[in-house]
Chain A
C-alpha cells in the first residue's frame, strides 16, 4: 500500500529537493537494511523530498542535530501524526470510543511542553530507577533461567528476555498490574502500526479498537490514583496536581499513554539489538565477557550503530532552509538519525561497529534538545543489567541465522522480530 497519496508537504518543485526516480534506494518503510540508501542520500542528496510520504528526508549529522535544536522553527507537533491518513472506519471507531489523546510530550510544544515535562521529569528520576535495579536484575536472571530450563539449548532473545523485561519495569513504575504485559504489548504494537506504519483502511480497524482500549485504561489508572493513592509515578503526578501543579487529568492520562508505550517498546528493541549486534561482532561480545566494565560504552555504540528509532518527524513553521535546501512553511521533515549516526564527518569509519569508539555518545538516537528522550537513563540501565547477566551466565551464546533476521515494516521504528540464539550452556 505504498501508493497512498502524500499526506502533506508542499510541492517540491522549485525547492531543489526533488527525488530521482530511484530515491537513492530509499524505501520509507523497509527496515531490513536501510543503511546503504542512507549513505547514498548523505552523499548524493542530503535533503530529499520523498513524494511518497510527503516528507523532506534529512540524512546528515549536522543537519539532523540543527533541526532538533531549532525547536522554534521546526515544531514537533507532527511527531505523533499518522503517516498514512486515518481511514473512515478507524476514525469512526476512535471517535465513538472517546479517543481524545494525541501526545504526552513528544508532539507538544512550549510553553505547554515545558510545563508538563517539568512535572513528568520530577516523577521520573534516577533515584526512582536505581531503586528498581534489584527487581530488574532478578527479572533478567529469571528469564535466563527459564531459557535454560527449557533444556533445548535454544532461545529467542526478543521473546524470552527483551519483550517482558522493560515492560514489567514501566508497569511497576506507573503502578499498573505487571501481569498485563501481553495486553500492553498488543496496544503498543497497534500504536506503532497506526502512527508510523503503512496500513490500508481495512488493516487499521483492529488497531483502532486497541487504541480505544489503551486510552480508556490510561484514564482508569489516573482515576484509580485519585481514589487510592499509592507509591508510584501516577500517584506522584496526581499528588503534584493536588499540590497546585499545573497538570490536568487528561494531561496525566496522556503522559501515561506515552510512557506505557515509549517506556518499553524501544527498550525491548535496544536489548534485542545489543545482543544481536554484539554477537554478530564476536570480538566485541568476548571483550565484554572479559571486561564487563566496558558494557555501558558498548551500549552507546549499539545505540549509534543500530538505534531503536531511526527516523523522527518535524514540521517547519515558516519558510526556512536546511543545508541550503528551501523548506516551505508547513513542510514536514523526516530526520534520519539512523543515517546521521553513521555520518563520516562525525564518526570515523561510521559504518563500522567499534565499542572502543570514543565519541559514540554523540549519537542522536535519543534526539537532542528539549525533547531529548526522558527515559534514556532507564533504557540504558536495563540494557546494562541484561548484558551483565547474559555475558556472565552465557558467555558462549551464539547468534543463529543472523543474516535472516526480519525487521517490522515501519517509518521510524526499526524492530527486529526474533533473535535466535544457541545457549551453548555447559
Chain B
C-alpha cells in the first residue's frame, strides 16, 4: 500500500493509505484532505493542487514536464524549489511520500 503524509501549513499531519496508480491529488480529494483542491480534475489547468515535497522524496520523483513547470507559475502561494503539482505525482506500490500543503490554493 502506498502512503501519503500530508502536513498542512500549520504543521498538522495526516497519513493516508493510497491506491497504487492514483495521484497524490486524487488521494487527497478522495479522502477529503483540506489544502488541496484539484479543481480541474488533473488536466494541468488550475494549479490548485500545489504541494511542497519533502527533500528526501523529491529527488526520487520523475522529473516534471514543461507544462507542469509552467503551471507552477500560477500557484496562489509562490513556488519553491521543491514545489510540484500533486496531480502529476502518480503513486507506485509501497511508495511513501511526504508533502506539505500551502496556506491557500486560491
A residues contacting B by CB (< 8 A) are 68-69, 118, 121-122, 125-127, 129-130, 296-297, 300, 361-362, 366, 368-374, 376-377
Contact = CB atoms under 8 A, between A and B. Distances in A.
B83 interface: no
A374 B44 CA distance: 9
Contact of A126 (B37, B42, B73): B73
Contacts of B39: 361-362, 366, 372, 376
A361 B67 contact: no
A126 B72 CA distance: 8
In the complex, the 10 A-B pairs of residues with the closest C-beta atoms, listed nearest first: A126-B74, A372-B40, A125-B70, A369-B41, A126-B73, A127-B73, A372-B45, A296-B106, A372-B43, A368-B41
B66 interface: yes
Given A361-B48, A366-B39, A369-B43, 17 more contacts: A68-B41, A121-B44, A122-B70, A125-B70, A127-B73, A127-B74, A130-B73, A296-B106, A297-B106, A361-B37, A366-B40, A368-B41, A369-B41, A369-B42, A370-B41, A376-B40, A377-B47
Contacts of A373: 45
A361 B43 contact: no
9 contacts: A121-B45, A125-B70, A127-B73, A297-B106, A361-B106, A372-B40, A372-B46, A377-B47, A377-B74
A275 B41 CA distance: 29
Contacts of A122: 66-67, 70
A237 to B, nearest CB: 15
Contacts of A130: 73-74
Interface in B20-40: 37, 39-40
A129 B45 CA distance: 13
Contacts of A374: 45
B16 interface: no
Interface string B69-85: 01101101000000000
B41 A376 contact: no
Contacts of A361: 37, 39, 48, 105-106
A213 to B, nearest CB: 31
Interface of B: 37, 39-48, 66-67, 70-71, 73-74, 76, 105-106
Contact of A125 (B48, B73, B76, B106): B73
B70 A127 contact: yes
A370 B47 CA distance: 14
A132 to B, nearest CB: 13
Nearest to B74: A126
A129 B74 contact: yes
B102 to A, nearest CB: 14
A126 B75 CA distance: 9
A125 B71 contact: yes
Contacts of A118: 67
Contacts of B43: 369-372
A116 to B, nearest CB: 13
A138 B41 CA distance: 34
Nearest to B70: A125
A69 B41 contact: yes
B71 to A, nearest CB: 6
A319 B71 CA distance: 38
B13 to A, nearest CB: 21
A300 B44 contact: no
Given A370-B43, A372-B41, A372-B46, A126 B106 contact: no
A125 B74 contact: yes
Nearest to B34: A358
Nearest to B29: A362
Contacts of A127: 70, 73-74
